[in-house]
Chain A
Amino acid sequence: MQREPSERGRDVTVGATRVAIVSTGIVTTAGRGADRTFAALRTGGDAPRAPRSIQSELGGLYPVFEVPDAAFGAPPVRLPGGRGRRGTRLALIAGLDAFLASGVRFASERIGVVTGATVGGMMHTEDWVEERVRGDAARVAARPAIRHLPLWDAPRELARRIGATGPVTAVTTACTSGTHAIAVAADLIVTGAADVVVAGGVDALARVTYHGFASLGLLERVRCRPFDTGRAGLNLGEGAAFVVLASERAFPCDAGPPVAWLDGWASTSDAHHATAPRPDGSGLADAMREAIRRASALPASVDWVHAHGTATQNNDDVEAEAIAAVFGDLRPAVSSTKHVFGHTLGAAGAVSAVVAVEAMRRGFVPGNGPVVRAAGARDLAIVPPGGLERTVRRVVVNSMGFGGTNCALVLSGGAP
């Protein structure tokens, strides 16, 4: 399949191949697997609760969406290393579920792993630093080693278990890490550097992010309300989600037909502010436009925009501007799912991508939380809380993050 020449780059064609999504894996507060994920999306899921996996004096104030203990079992993921490797365990759950479901059989050097994450083994670092600050001599002496933020622990461990010896790396672009990991993986496939890439995102809850978001005044005290006028911030969550991407050219494999296609992906920067997005939404709008263009698609073909929708004032205002700028009167369905999973940071974009794939398979658009809209606010077609039973052929997945990073994906249904 040949693609149009890119406006931004010299050529896209490299003997370009379409990128198939062969299978998915996901673990969130809703539990493990797409069925539990969609059961929660249909009902709205459980309310966020005080954190249990981290200890914080702010724990009573800001509820979170944690992965339940049961999700770590059946079959259990055995991995030494204590709580510092909670994120790696989550990545193994979702990554191995995705890979085992894929049925792909390729030479190991043609398989890669790309994982988005922001905190990695931060819990080890927290313990190490806090014990020193508090002068806890006994614990300092007992702790054998520091492993500072090993973001690459998850992709390497996943690659080791899969037997992948192709390109392996971690991608870390704040809250766009998950979408960027999928985009980087797709580049590896269309350029021929790999035939199959297990790509996704992961983050476990960590005190430093919990306290950091609290310090920025971005945490909500009740369930978050994306796109609602009265929204007051986000709920942190944790989880992991992976897709198995494969080169169409390398198909057929034993996997059967792909469940979806990744047809477009694009990344842009705001060059504006350390934490706030560019107010006109032009960075995210450019990412969506470029991803749609690369998919050789038209905005009118997009049935659903899976919004980043964190429920912070800045994010939702800017994202609404960007969606309106790209789609105008077309008004595709728009919803966020962060009121169900929380903001899973490095996993968020990958969670959205897996939800998008499964939404197309199921013919169901997950609902946004209830919305009260102020006069003058952007008139988006926000999906009602119960969701919509309808055919979904094409989805745009948005993400935005600190540092002024934007990434958009375009996914299409599995029918050729």
Chain B
Amino acid sequence: MTDAFPFAARIVGAGFVGVSDDGASDADTRRAAFEPTDLPGGLGRRLGRQPALVFAAILQALGGATPDPDTALVLGTAHGAMSETIDVIAGAAKHGAAAASPLLFANSLHNAMSGAVGRALGLRGPAVVVSNGDASFQSALVTAMAMLRAGHARRAIVGASDSVHPVYTEGLRRVGLLPAPGRPAYAGGEGGGALVIEAAAAGDVRTAVTHAAFGEAVPRSGRLAAAQSMTSGERRDAARHSAVWERVRAAFDGPHPEPAHAAARFGTFGSLCAVAVAAEAIRRFDCDAVGGATAFVQASLRAPPTVVVVGGHGR
């Protein structure tokens, strides 16, 4: 893996909505304590759960500020608007193809999230949605950083979200990725996270994303991975965690959040840890940007060995 991404970005805001600390009792439905109607000003009235989750995180990250219309919007999602996708298929199956809902179809697209957020915030700049399994947020972050560096915008909103749906949960159970007697829980869940970043010089490390790399194609198919035992998967994940966190520790010269804390608290489909830990570091260390964070790889099924290290120095 390329050790360091060749550019940096300053983080000026972070926000997240995730499953709560005590929400792990029913791992099949690890829903965030959040409803689209929680969004202020009626913004969530017509939004599905998945775009609403990222929108809530973006509003947190903006902290009440109105973004410049030229702000870039780069969002990630593994599964997109899952409820709308399943509902539009189910609707056509139940009532006939001619009865498919045009509104549901339009909202089922992965970029419905960027369209909805862009309309609400009046964003006219570049907007891209990426999808890269559990690394979707990381891909969004790297895409946004490249976009800033290439001069497409001065500031970018980077976010990601995924939501749970019973039909998909059933699929996870059938491939052995949900809890069973004697087997620990797959940390599946939902959430949304966002950062607001600005172009920054690579030497500007105090409050910047200092290292990021992504890529490394998966040298095996998801099908094969699904058949592997969780035990070996857990071992592999643990090794990855450890290596990744060592990088974070190395990049971070103060106290740092513990991976176990983040893993327990943010068991989402995996796009969100960088944001969550970033926000946690801001809260905990009262620094104006990010302490240290990583995207940990929680599930072997869809995870490429992809790493984003969000580094910097606390006060």
Please tell me if the beta carbons of B79 and A148 are within 8 angstroms of each other in the complex.
Answer: yes
Q: Does B142 have its Cβ within 8 Å of any Cβ on chain A? A: yes
What is the bound-complex CA distance between A168 and B215, given in angstroms?
5
Contacts of B152 in A (CB 8 A): 6, 8-9, 187, 266-267
Q: Does A134 have its Cβ within 8 Å of any Cβ on chain B? A: yes
Please tell me if the beta carbons of B217 and A172 are within 8 angstroms of each other in the complex.
Answer: no
What is the bound-complex CA distance between A120 and B70, given in angstroms?
30
Which of A9, A56, A81, A155 sits near B154, CB closer than 8 Å?
A9
Contacts of B102 in A (CB 8 A): 212, 215-217, 275
Contacts of A165 in B (CB 8 A): 1, 215-217
Please tell me if the beta carbons of A152 and B92 are within 8 angstroms of each other in the complex.
Answer: no
What is the bound-complex CA distance between A12 and B146, given in angstroms?
10
Please tell me if the beta carbons of A134 and B174 are within 8 angstroms of each other in the complex.
Answer: no
What is the bound-complex CA distance between A333 and B229, given in angstroms?
59
Please tell me if the beta carbons of A149 and B79 are within 8 angstroms of each other in the complex.
Answer: yes
Please tell me if the beta carbons of B126 and A269 are within 8 angstroms of each other in the complex.
Answer: yes
In the complex, the number of residue pairs spanning A and B with C-beta atoms less than 8 Å apart equals 281
| Smallest CB separation, B309 vs chain A (Å) | 15
Contacts of B90 in A (CB 8 A): 129-130, 132-133
Q: Can you name the residue of chain A whose Cβ is closest to the Cβ of B46? A: A274
Which of A112, A168, A273 sits near B132, CB closer than 8 Å?
A168
Q: Number of A residues contacting the other chain (C-beta, 8 Å)?
A: 90
What is the bound-complex CA distance between A214 and B96, given in angstroms?
12
Please tell me if the beta carbons of A267 and B5 are within 8 angstroms of each other in the complex.
Answer: no
Q: Can you name the residue of chain B whose Cβ is closest to the Cβ of A345? A: B109
Interface pick from A234-242, A295-303, A398-406 = A398-406
Q: Does A125 have its Cβ within 8 Å of any Cβ on chain B? A: yes
Interface pick from B117-125, B230-238, B251-259 = B117-125
Which of B111, B121, B215, B302 sits near A173, CB closer than 8 Å?
B111
Check A404/B118 contact, CB under 8 A, given A171-B129, A268-B126. Answer: yes
What is the bound-complex CA distance between A273 and B171, given in angstroms?
34
Q: Does A310 have its Cβ within 8 Å of any Cβ on chain B? A: no
Q: Does B93 have its Cβ within 8 Å of any Cβ on chain A? A: yes
What is the bound-complex CA distance between A126 and B97, given in angstroms?
13
Q: Can you name the residue of chain B whose Cβ is closest to the Cβ of A15? A: B6
Check A184/B146 contact, CB under 8 A, given A109-B1, A145-B226, A214-B97. Answer: yes
| Smallest CB separation, A406 vs chain B (Å) | 9
Check A403/B112 contact, CB under 8 A, given A133-B93, A134-B93. Answer: yes
20 extra A-B contacts, CB within 8 A, seeds A187-B149, A402-B106: A9-B199, A14-B149, A129-B89, A144-B175, A146-B172, A150-B222, A160-B218, A166-B215, A168-B216, A187-B147, A211-B88, A266-B126, A266-B152, A267-B128, A268-B124, A269-B114, A271-B119, A271-B121, A283-B124, A403-B111
**Complex A-B, nearest 7 residue pairs according to Cβ-Cβ distance, in ascending order:** A403-B115, A146-B171, A212-B105, A9-B151, A159-B217, A12-B151, A6-B151
